[in-house]
Amino acid sequence: MNLFAKLKKLSDAFGVSGHEDEVRELIHEMAAPYVDSCEVDPLGNLICSRGKGPVVMLDAHMDEVGFLVRWIEPNGFLRIAPVGGWDERLLLGQRVVIRARDSRKVKGIIGATPPHILSSEDRKKTAPLEELFVDVGAGSREEAEGMGITIGSPLTIYYPCELLREGYATGKAFDDRVGCLVALEALRLTADERLPYRLAVNFAVGEELGLRGAKAAAFRVAPQVALALEGTVGADVPGIPEAKQPTRLGKGPAITVADRSIVVRPRMVGFLEGIARAEGIPYQYKLPAYGGTDAGAIHLERGGILAGVVSVPCRYIHSPVSLLSLSDLEGAVKLVVGFLRRAQELLR
């Protein structure tokens, strides 16, 4: 299976924060051949590990932004509450998929009032989230409930992952299924190597709700060195000055210097730079100080952990659909594999 096919499987899987079961089962299946053990902690983190000795940790989060059903109207329409950060300008008229109580998928549409019956002023306004509704074709609350929809049912906007053109993939949840794929590929490519430490890979829950899963996993795993893997903000689009573009597509994986959750120690930044130069991997810096990652929670655990971040630039994250360059994804895999082969140098 090629890299894009794996990305498609991960992107298409359902995994709203707090409801990562489908993604976790898929990742468990993909990781199991390359590790000694996989365990699920009480929060739902999937921790896969192999080897013995001091611990080096990789982390990528499984969850994606989405919504919960907060109310079912008597006429069968659904009201929704956000899970994670959404831009309300993007939501009207979008297709969604709802995971019902019995795990079946129910399709719906975020309703939009036709412009023909709006005033000229109303056409210029963004509908606030609390006024939005989802149409599942139900004629009553009882009919919606008969579909398995209840208060708290998770849903997200759904567009299947596909190639936009050769070398460029588009789909949902690249934040952070691309990080999960980088971790899985790093496991696969180093499977036959005896690394001089215990490698623990945490596939985290709840990152979009405040780095929750990674905090608990870092305490449990107790690594000495950690690397968070992310899909990050690619903003090389018209209207954004270059100085305000956190990363750009096609320029290689991004090494974080600082963001809102961590100032990465120069030792880690220099270590990643050295690997990229030695391996001939094009790389860029994620410009400070946008966003945050699980490294923000990890580096504060257990009295402090040396942590860094490697990201894949993705345009339009936290929107219905994202875009990435497969060359950046491949570069991130090479950089993380190089990191694992030399990580013992950071344990000294």
- Phi, psi at residue 225, to the nearest 5°? -135, 140
The catalytic residue among 20, 64, 185, 207 is 207
Is residue 180 within 8 Å of residue 31, measured between CB atoms? Answer: no
**Contacts of 153 by beta carbon, 8 Å cutoff, 6+ apart:** 68, 69, 98, 99, 100, 101
Q: Answer whether the bond into residue 328 is a cis peptide, omega within 30°.
A: no
Angle, helices 174-189 vs 21-31, to 10°: value is: 20
Burial zone of 104 (CB within 10 Å; 0-12 exposed, 13-18 middle, 19+ buried): exposed
Beta bridge partners of 200: 49, 57
Beta bridge partners of 65: none
Angle at 278 between CA 273 and CA 280, to 5 degrees: 90
| C-alpha–C-alpha distance, residues 286 and 289, integer Å | 8
- Specify the DSSP class assigned to residue 263: B
Q: What is the 3-state secondary structure (H, E, C) of 278-334?
A: HHCCCCEEECCCCCCCCHHHHCCCCCCCEEEEEEEEEECCCCCCEEEEHHHHHHHHH
- From residue 306, how far is each of 212, 265, 347 by CA, in Å? 19, 8, 10
Residue closest to 80 by CA, chosen among 106, 102, 98: 98
Residue closest to 109 by CA, chosen among 96, 119, 126: 96
Q: Catalytic annotation on 39?
A: no
Residue closest to 305 by CA, chosen among 254, 259, 258, 268: 268
The one-letter amino acid code at 151 reads: I
The one-letter amino acid code at 176 reads: D
Please list the active-site residues.
207
